[in-house]
Amino acid sequence: MTGAPLRLTMKAVRKTDYWIALPTNAPIRGGVSGDTLAELYEEVEAAKHFILDAPAETEIIVTYLYEVAGVPPAVLDTYRELRARRDQVAAQLGETAREAVAALRAAGVSVRDSAALLELSKSRVDQLGA
Q: What are the mean pLDDT values of the chain's consecutive 10-residue runs (130 residues total)?
A: 85 95 88 96 95 92 93 92 96 96 96 96 93
In the chain, what is the straight-line distance between the N-terminal and C-terminal CA atoms, in Å?
Answer: 36
In Å, how far are 28, 57, 85, 90 from 21, measured between CA atoms?
A: 12, 23, 26, 32
